[in-house]
Amino acid sequence: MEKRKYWSDPVIDEERMLNRMTGRIKNSLSGFLRVCVVALIVAFQMLLLLLLPFLLHQYTVYFYVILEIVSLIVIISLINDMRSPAYKIAWIAICLALPLSGEIMYLLWGKTDTNKKINGKLLKVLEHGDRYKEYDKQLEQEFQEKHPFRSRMSAYLVSEGFPLTKNNDIQYFSMGEDAFESMLADLDKAERFILIDFFIVAEGALWDAIHEVCLRKIKEGVEVKFMYDDFGAMIRTNKYFAKELREEGFQVTIFNPIHKYTDKLYMNYRTHQKIVVIDGNIGYTGGFNIADEYANLIQRFGVWKDTGVRVVGDAVWWMTVTFLQMWEMGNEKVCEDFEKYRPSMKFPQNDVYCHVLADGPINKHNPIEMVYGQMIQYARKYLYVMTPYLIIEKDMQDALILAVKSGVDVRIITPYIPDKKSVKLVTNYNYGFLLANGVRIFEYKPGFIHAKCILNEEFAIVGSINMDYRSFYLHYENGIWLSNQEVVKKIRKDFDDTFSVCEEVTYEQWLARPTSMKVMQAFLNVFSTLL
């Protein structure tokens, strides 16, 4: 086997399946046209909203009274909204810039209870899966006695509905291609069922390999449930993608289909989760999606770095429960028999403890953001973060700075080459306050880093969670919280290797950025929670 020239290069091994593939980018014309049609219809509806003040100019007095009433309703609603100040400021700016039409937009999309009816239905769906959550008080006590410090965060996670597990074997992957190579081998051994959930699905060499294995398993009598987000797959799959899969024997759910009407157009509420479960015994999660760039079969933005984990053990059941709950949310009339998806094997006893995390916009407590805050708070020596996007609230910024001032080595890795230029501008804008107060920021020089990982000397979280407002508040996310020191050391080594190919950003460099960039960043930052 030929070693990597530098750590971020894929390993060259002729026996690896992925190294025999030729990647490709295939954009669906039908998907593109669908996007265009939806965009045109929505644009027309938006135009009507924007023209309302002009259409009603002959009714100036009445219009003024209506505007005042609507504005008052919006202001009161925003003041009493429990979401972040940045979110409120963004909507206030829209309302000031677009009188009446801005207020209508807020009433359609911005209100906390806009989707109250939908949320009520989804909460009832989640209740079915919650019945299968089993809390082992003896196990919690055991963990507390063995690890008093670590058990504090574990206790919080238990209180938020994430049971503690043990008897796990966890393998960490520093690159997406390594995770997919292992995943394909495990899929090929499936005997009972396969559960797959991704945000993005793109037709290409990687999908062809996964599709081929799953199709073969279906013919052998294996049940395959496949779920993906409509927004994430719209452009990169053909018009009949789901229909063709169903005809082949796949069970398919398209989560939260994109609607053409403004009052039903939810760009948020997406499933950003990444979950693969095989026979209830093996589970995968991480930052990767099913697209060739995630396995470096093509290069869109240089070397694509992603991370993930393979879990064998008791924790896999909670990955299964998470998947089935999301499956039922995407099929409100479906009520699955969770019991038939139980693990088929008894796992060897060990002391590898972990929690499976899952969160979404209907959860009022927002535990994933809170546990990220705890990761910062509990760091004593170092806190390292990999994230493609850095759009965080003032309280998390303050937590990072407090950690620095307490002697913690705080470092954040973001991409050098962005996938979204506007988000990169806002990410860069967020550097300033952090750099000025001692947080060290590194940009991944080989290309784009899509990994979502946070680490201190005691714990790590690996999963789908970006360090931004969208992940914390607007999308369904998942991850694995772990405290096993062997795995923590492997993740730490990955961070150290990654730092070696990064370029550190200094505060002086940040201050010296062009004036045009500063102006654009200041503007975009106002709307950062809506990007």
pLDDT at 365: 76
Mean pLDDT per 10-residue interval, the chain, length 531 residues: 36 61 64 59 62 63 68 75 75 73 70 58 81 91 95 95 96 97 96 97 95 97 96 84 96 82 57 96 97 93 96 97 94 87 94 95 84 96 97 94 98 95 94 97 97 97 94 92 96 98 97 94 83 67
CA-CA distances (angstroms) from residue 129 to 9, 123, 163?
41, 10, 13
CATH number of the domain where residue 325 is located: 3.30.870.10
Range of the domain at 176: 119-137+166-351
106 in any annotated domain: yes
Assess whether 297 and 383 both reside in one domain: no
Assess whether 43 and 173 both reside in one domain: no
360 in any annotated domain: no
pLDDT at 486: 96
Instruction: Provide φ and ψ at 500, rounded to 5°.
Output: -70, -20
Residue that is last in its domain, among 316, 351, 386: 351
Assess whether 314 and 429 both reside in one domain: no
Assess whether 209 and 324 both reside in one domain: yes
CB 190 within 8 A of CB 215: no
356 in any annotated domain: no
pLDDT at 40: 64
CA-CA distances (angstroms) from residue 465 to 60, 97, 389, 517, 521?
48, 32, 10, 28, 24
Which tokens hold the place of 32? Answer: 């593109």
318 in any annotated domain: yes
CB 165 within 8 A of CB 355: yes
149 in any annotated domain: no
pLDDT at 17: 73
**Distance between CA 388 and CA 383 in Å, rounded?**
17
Instruction: Provide φ and ψ at 475, rounded to 5°.
Output: -120, 160
210 in any annotated domain: yes
**Degrees to nearest 5, angle at CA 146 with 142 and 147:** 110
Per the structure, the count of domains in the chain is 3
Q: Which of 137, 207, 194, 228 is nearest to 316 (CA)?
A: 194
Assess whether 456 and 496 both reside in one domain: yes
Assess whether 198 and 310 both reside in one domain: yes
160 in any annotated domain: no
Does an H or E element contain 439, and which? none
Reported pTM: 0.87
pLDDT at 87: 77
Rg over alpha carbons for the chain, rounded to the nearest Å, is: 24
11 in any annotated domain: no
Assess whether 486 and 514 both reside in one domain: yes
CA-CA distances (angstroms) from residue 246 to 201, 218, 222, 250?
16, 11, 14, 5
70-104 per-residue burial string, b: 16 or more CB within 10 A, e: under 16: bbeebeebbeebebbebbbbbbbebbeebebbbbb
Assess whether 406 and 456 both reside in one domain: yes
pLDDT at 10: 38
Q: How would DSSP label each residue in 384-418?
A: EEE-S-EE--HHHHHHHHHHHHTT-EEEEEEESS-
Assess whether 389 and 277 both reside in one domain: no
